[in-house]
Structure 1
């Protein structure tokens, strides 16, 4: 076989990848310098000794009956906080995502006087979603703790507001990214927007929506740790107390519970995806 007939072993996209890699390095290097990123400092003898001593304090985990009772109660509070907050976030996200999804806009299937009004309503809904997700849940938790006092109720509302904005944005994007032809055909045939949603869009993206919702519930469980440090209750508040008392055994037990909760969320997500397959 001649050299001209042999297939080329050169990657046709090699130059583009190289340019992209160099551009990423040029952009990332100044950012690493500004952030004072010095990973070599972790491997200094003094740093390794401090880290080793700190980690050694986490062993063995505390398994005393009194602490396990507190841990069980805090775990239930965290699960209740995450579940209730995610449920309220769904009540916020679903209507706003429904409004902001352009594929479900009746005014888009033909000329009409309501087109500009639909665009204004969609933009207002997008602005609401942006405001809700722009403020971190820890800030909302501080506000609600001041209004409602210490306890899980503040955490529930903080999660509901922030995650309502996040879920609404992602739901709208998922609905827009799926095949919108069935929904458009239903609207053009005289069906309502809810019919177009349930029969035109959801069958194609239900798995993705459920998977992301379960992932957000998992994030809500983790976020409850941070909110617990400002008095929102749950495992986070118990972790705060253990760390202030320098009780590494209690802290490691709490971290093990968080690992089990993440595994539970993974199993739940996989089960729901198989159910909807």
Structure 2
């Protein structure tokens, strides 16, 4: 901080660079807004506001009839089961691939500070597979599996498992490499196996971050399972699709409130486990 004069407030020396970066970001953003025909002023058009207000009025009050709540409860269980089963299957693929693609347990990296060329070459197929798995969105996989296995949650489970295995594997490998690897190095030098070095040298330091990211991905899987319901994967998404088609606004609000409760519950569970592992 520098003083611009006697009695004057200090001047921030980083103000000009921040201003230039802001102007540069706006210049980069502007072509994208033009290409997407982004016009916020249309939201304030009186005719659009009237149509939107009448549309929202049809969403109240929520539908709390016993028959609808029974269907909603079953769809909620389907959504949770789809997200949980898909994530568990993704973990079965992601954990081995993350260990294969990470150089956290590389003997050459721990001893010389740099993994060997052969080690990098052997890890490349695992990294490439993780890229392939996460490059295709889960909604595309769901469309393909609906054709293969028919309508229902099975298509959603398989779609989540494939896409999320690539995401989890990539982030897990980066978490392994970000923690202090000196305990694992000491275990390897003492003659321990790589699996034992991982379980006792790396996993304790990475457990909190791994748990946090896994629960975040479970929350994302819940949201994804709702979206995939629109293509026939069942659950809350399929109920929302049917309710919107029938212009049943009260049912849509009840489903959205249920979905909000699921996300809040997942967030609270994540906070609880993080405090336990802290």
Is the 8 Å Cα contact of residues 76 and 235 (structure 2) preserved in structure 1? yes
Relative to structure 1, the CA distance from residue 197 to residue 5 in structure 2 (aligned partners, 3 Å threshold; closer, same or farther) is: farther
Structure 2 residue aligned with 1:15 = 16
Structure 2 residue aligned with 1:212 = 213
Moved >6 Å (runs of 4+): 2-8
Tell me how far 1:90 sits from its aligned partner.
0.8
Rounded to whole Å, the distance in 2 between the matches of 1:94 and 1:144 is 24
Structure 1 residue aligned with 2:126 = 125
Relative to structure 1, the CA distance from residue 249 to residue 8 in structure 2 (aligned partners, 3 Å threshold; closer, same or farther) is: closer
Q: Structure 1, residues 175-212: CA drift from partner, whole Å, max 9, x if none? A: 21222232233323332222222222222221111111
Relative to structure 1, the CA distance from residue 15 to residue 192 in structure 2 (aligned partners, 3 Å threshold; closer, same or farther) is: farther
Structure 2 residue aligned with 1:79 = 80
Q: Structure 1, residues 196-230: CA drift from partner, whole Å, max 9, x if none? A: 22222222221111111111111111111211111
Rounded to whole Å, the distance in 2 between the matches of 1:197 and 1:74 is 40
Structure 2 residue aligned with 1:158 = 159
Rounded to whole Å, the distance in 1 between the matches of 2:128 and 2:164 is 15
Structure 1 residue aligned with 2:267 = 266
Q: What runs of 5+ residues in structure 1 fail to find an aligned partner?
A: none
More displaced, 200-209 or 157-166?
A: 200-209
Rounded to whole Å, the distance in 1 between the matches of 2:7 and 2:181 is 45
Structure 2 residue 220 is matched with structure 1 residue 238? no
Is the 8 Å Cα contact of residues 109 and 188 (structure 1) preserved in structure 2? no
Structure 2 residue aligned with 1:174 = 175
Rounded to whole Å, the distance in 2 between the matches of 1:255 and 1:26 is 37
Structure 1 residue aligned with 2:103 = 102
Structure 1 residue aligned with 2:277 = 276
Structure 2 residue aligned with 1:38 = 39
Question: TM-score, length-normalised on structure 1?
Answer: 0.93
Q: Structure 1, residues 72-123: CA drift from partner, whole Å, max 9, x if none? A: 0000000000000011111111111111111211243458xx9443212211
Rounded to whole Å, the distance in 2 between the matches of 1:249 and 1:161 is 35
Structure 2 residue aligned with 1:136 = 137
* Map 1:192-203 → 2, pairs under 5 A: 192-203=193-204
Rounded to whole Å, the distance in 2 between the matches of 1:251 and 1:3 is 59
Tell me how far 1:25 sits from its aligned partner.
1.0
Q: Structure 1, residues 19-48: CA drift from partner, whole Å, max 9, x if none? A: 211111111111111111111111111111
Rounded to whole Å, the distance in 1 between the matches of 2:268 and 2:69 is 24
Q: What runs of 5+ residues in structure 2 fail to find an aligned partner?
A: none
Relative to structure 1, the CA distance from residue 79 to residue 3 in structure 2 (aligned partners, 3 Å threshold; closer, same or farther) is: closer
Instruction: Please tell me the root mean square deviation across aligned C-alpha atoms, in Å.
Output: 2.0
Question: What SS does the aligned partner of 1:150 have?
Answer: coil
Structure 2 residue aligned with 1:247 = 248
Question: What SS does the aligned partner of 2:28 have?
Answer: helix
Rounded to whole Å, the distance in 2 between the matches of 1:46 and 1:181 is 66
